[in-house]
Amino acid sequence: MARKQKHPKKPRGSYLSPGVYVEEVSSGARPLEAVGTAVAAFVGFARRDPVRAAVTAAAVLAAAAVVVRAIRR
């Protein structure tokens, strides 16, 4: 038979209201560091050229033109 505990365990954490306790536990993961949002990168496979070569586009329309040319080939 299991023995009854004389003193029940008290919950750990911060007391918020009757019966509500909050305990924050570290997940071990570090938060992502902030990075600039002015740079976009698209990675994927292409059927044809350029193979294993980076293509730089200085503006949104230039990037769209690179994609359209790759699709039309």
Are 32 and 26 within 8 A, CB to CB?
Answer: no
What local confidence, expressed as pLDDT, does residue 46 receive? 64
Model confidence pLDDT, tens digit, residues 17-69: 777 777 777 777 777 777 777 777 777 766 666 666 777 777 777 777 877 77
Q: What are the extents of the domains in the chain?
A: 37-73
Helix, strand or coil, per DSSP, at residue 4:
coil
pTM: 0.28
Q: Which of 45, 40, 39 has its CA nearest to residue 71?
A: 45
